[in-house]
A and B are shown apart, each in its own frame.
Chain A
Amino acid sequence: MARLRVNARAPKFQGRLLQDTEQLWRYRVQEFWGEVIPYLGYVIQSGLGFVIAFVFIAGTALYASFLDQIPAGFPVRELGWMLLSPIVAYTTYRTFLQSADLGYLLRLEHRMNRYMKRSVRYSLMPRMVLLMAACLIYWPLYSRADEAPKPLFVLLAAFVVLKFVAAYGAWGERHMHDRRLKLACRIIRYAWSWGAAACWLWLDIGMAGLWTGLGGLIYIAAIWKLPKLAFPWEEHIALEQVHRNRIYTFLSGFVDLPTMNNRRFSRPWLHALGNRYAFQKKKAYRYLLVKSFVRSELLGIVLRLIVIGIILLWWTKDSIWSSLLLLLLMITIHAQLKALLQLHRHDVWLKLYPVANQDRSVAISGVYAQVLGLCVLLLLLPVIAGGLSIQAKGGIGLGAAAAYVLLCWQRKHAIERLISTEEEE
């Protein structure tokens, strides 16, 4: 893996940019992409580009052949619901604001309107494109398999409007000061998005328009009326940091970048995990790693993958294709768990504390094997509950065990290679 230092670019003097906040916004966007683009070369070189191209070509071919022989009773609405609802609900905004802005831009708050408008437009555009792309991909299947498909432009227009409503809600939530209120509104946004998407898939146009129109108006009015900050500086800065961290965490999978502080979740119900490694000198790093992992964004990603995986496997539990799905999920979780290598890799305390590199390597391999093992066991549950023969279930179980051993072996060697490279450096 190539090793690079994070660009330590000296910030240009932005004094003149403060006169025109729109220009400042443009400068910030260019600066961000100027930082990120050099690393994209490494992402493409890693083979990801090839994999994406392959998946696209193979996926198109498979989809086309599937369209010719859609099985009777295919749950096309359920599929559309699962595909489109998350895209409608999930909305983030990039503001490119930085911590120092609290000191320097605060007094220009009254002039930040144009800056924020650009941010909102910049953030919504790709999300709308993604939603429309998903609708267009879904459309050929929907129009063939649904008993009463709606016209394409109606479906597109409806989902775009739904997205705008959810985006308004997300923007409002960002301005809310009260944590509990913010959380409640977030839950309502997701509920509303999934509910509204279901209306447009299951009800006729009139009823769907009536229910989602009414619901949407009430939702917008509620968000509008709830107490909010005029300009949530701290929230904008914190969420921008989260976004940057995610991008750098993604890039660190391809090029050796010190990842920034990731978002932390308290998860008090998991506090006890890792305690058994305390006061065992050789397991010091494992203690730290487990504590960090249970409060990391990575655990959230793994949990979401397990939930989605269990739903999908439950759906295909009577088919032998569930084995392929299981393998795919295992590989996805394996890829995500690569972030364990980066979790404390550049910490100064690892250089200062008397922790042997060998113990570190054993700790990462151990946590990886435990997490992946647990995921595999959970994912096997729907298969076990399915209607396949005992022999088929046994075969899938053995296959999963073999894949597990292979993935653990591969990861163990990758960790050892990484740590020996660090030692040489």
Chain B
Amino acid sequence: MNPLLEVNQLTGGYSIGRPVLHDVSFAIEPGEMVGLIGLNGAGKSTTMKHILGLLEPQTGQIRLGGKALDENPEQYRASMAYVPESPILYDALTVREHLIWSATAYGVEERTYEERLVHLAKLFHMTPHLDKAAQHLSKGMRQKTMLMSAFLVRPPLYVIDEPFLGLDPLGIRSLLTFMNRMKEEGASLLVSSHILSTIEDYCDRFVLLHHGKVLVAGTADELREKLAARGGQEARTTRLEDVFYAWVGADDEDGGELIWRD
């Protein structure tokens, strides 16, 4: 099977000569959910910006559905939906109008839109808020509007940056259920999150970024095995969070060995 997204030896960042990412490579298959994990400043959001085409790779290539952005920008854009870490909404538009704007831009038909709208609004408990202007929404509702806009258009790839920020426990559960459903329907998801305990059971594979490099990639079990092979103390049954800490926590310049009671 051809991968849906290929990130091939990507080196890039915000200024030439000072790359944030170094030789980053990974791929996502159709129907796969991949967790992009790492500490603050590891390069997760920068990787996503490169995939979205907001940053130009200094070297390396990104292909989505076998095509690079410059080969067919419209098809590339139509193949993916993005949910940013902080909701970016139009203050003037209502929730419903945001969804119509997304549906119209991605060419979703009205009848399909109506069906999906009803379902998504129920799922995220947004039915009573559909006609509220974005500027009057709470932080969680803004995030839900972003998620609904992305899920409404059903692209092959979802790029979701820190999806759980601002969501209440019910919202997190609805989101995870829906992401799973999208995956089962054949969509791929690239999700970055700090809340590893939440995504551990949902992601098929993980890419661990550290200081702009891929430190390790694979399933949660493979990560544990690789850690054990590296001489890590953690048992094979350890939670992903502990494995993550064992990989990067001790390696970090600051605070690697500090615990709260200190």
Contacts from A to B (Cβ < 8 Å): 261, 264, 266, 277-281, 283-285, 287-288, 291-292, 295-296, 344, 348-349, 351-356
CB-CB under 8 A from A266, the residues of chain B are: 133
Flag if A348 contacts B77 (CB, 8 Å): no
CB-CB under 8 A from B123, the residues of chain A are: none
- Complex Cα distance, B134 from A291, in Å, reads 13
Closest-CB distance, A401 to chain B (whole angstroms): 32
Flag if A287 contacts B100 (CB, 8 Å): yes
Rank and list the top 4 A-B pairs by shortest CB-CB distance, nearest first: A295-B92, A354-B78, A284-B104, A354-B77
Q: Which of B75, B90, B102, B133 has the most CB of A within 10 A?
A: B90
Q: Does B217 contact A (CB under 8 A)?
A: no
Closest-CB distance, B204 to chain A (whole angstroms): 25
Flag if B105 contacts A279 (CB, 8 Å): no
Given the known inter-chain contacts A291-B97, A348-B54, A353-B105, please indicate yes or no for A279 contacting B113, CB distance below 8 A: yes
Given the known inter-chain contacts A291-B97, A292-B90, please indicate yes or no for A281 contacting B104, CB distance below 8 A: yes
CB-CB under 8 A from A285, the residues of chain B are: 105
Given contacts A279-B104, A351-B52, 4 further A-B contacts (CB under 8 A): A261-B91, A279-B100, A280-B104, A351-B53
- Complex Cα distance, B253 from A105, in Å, reads 34
Flag if A354 contacts B105 (CB, 8 Å): yes
- Complex Cα distance, B96 from A279, in Å, reads 13
Q: Which of A288, A296, A352, A356 contacts B101 (CB 8 A)?
A: A288
Flag if B103 contacts A353 (CB, 8 Å): no
Closest-CB distance, A377 to chain B (whole angstroms): 26
- Per-residue CB contact flags for chain B residues 86-126 toward chain A (1 = under 8 Å, else 0) read 00101111000100111111111110010000000000000
- Per-residue CB contact flags for chain B residues 70-86 toward chain A (1 = under 8 Å, else 0) read 00001101100010100
Could you jot down 28 A-B contacts, CB within 8 Å?
A264-B91, A266-B133, A277-B104, A279-B100, A279-B103, A279-B104, A279-B108, A280-B104, A281-B104, A284-B105, A287-B101, A288-B93, A291-B101, A292-B93, A344-B90, A348-B54, A348-B84, A349-B88, A351-B52, A351-B53, A352-B53, A352-B54, A354-B74, A354-B75, A354-B77, A354-B78, A354-B107, A356-B74
CB-CB under 8 A from A296, the residues of chain B are: 92
Flag if A287 contacts B74 (CB, 8 Å): no
Flag if B104 contacts A287 (CB, 8 Å): yes
Q: Nearest residue in A to B106 (C-beta to C-beta)?
A: A354
- Complex Cα distance, B101 from A287, in Å, reads 7
Q: Nearest residue in A to B133 (C-beta to C-beta)?
A: A266
Q: Which of B54, B91, B97, B105 contacts A355 (CB 8 A)?
A: B105
Flag if B133 contacts A279 (CB, 8 Å): no
Given the known inter-chain contacts A284-B101, A288-B101, A354-B105, please indicate yes or no for A264 contacting B113, CB distance below 8 A: no
Q: Does B198 contact A (CB under 8 A)?
A: no
Flag if A264 contacts B92 (CB, 8 Å): yes
Closest-CB distance, A335 to chain B (whole angstroms): 22
Closest-CB distance, A282 to chain B (whole angstroms): 9
CB-CB under 8 A from B52, the residues of chain A are: 351-352
Q: Does B135 contact A (CB under 8 A)?
A: yes
Flag if B74 contacts A278 (CB, 8 Å): no
- Complex Cα distance, B88 from A344, in Å, reads 13
Given the known inter-chain contacts A278-B110, A351-B53, A352-B82, please indicate yes or no for A283 contacting B104, CB distance below 8 A: yes
- Complex Cα distance, B90 from A356, in Å, reads 20
Flag if A353 contacts B90 (CB, 8 Å): no
Q: Nearest residue in A to B78 (C-beta to C-beta)?
A: A354
Flag if A281 contacts B107 (CB, 8 Å): yes
Q: Which of B105, B133, B135 contacts A281 (CB 8 A)?
A: B105
Given the known inter-chain contacts A349-B88, A356-B74, please indicate yes or no for A291 contacting B93, CB distance below 8 A: yes
Flag if B54 contacts A279 (CB, 8 Å): no
Q: Nearest residue in B to A355 (C-beta to C-beta)?
A: B105
Q: Nearest residue in B to A296 (C-beta to C-beta)?
A: B92
- Complex Cα distance, B90 from A287, in Å, reads 13
Flag if B77 contacts A353 (CB, 8 Å): yes
- Complex Cα distance, B71 from A273, in Å, reads 37
CB-CB under 8 A from A283, the residues of chain B are: 104
Closest-CB distance, B120 to chain A (whole angstroms): 17
Flag if A353 contacts B106 (CB, 8 Å): yes
Closest-CB distance, B98 to chain A (whole angstroms): 9
CB-CB under 8 A from B88, the residues of chain A are: 348-349
CB-CB under 8 A from B74, the residues of chain A are: 354, 356
- Complex Cα distance, B53 from A280, in Å, reads 25
Closest-CB distance, B67 to chain A (whole angstroms): 13
CB-CB under 8 A from B92, the residues of chain A are: 264, 291-292, 295-296
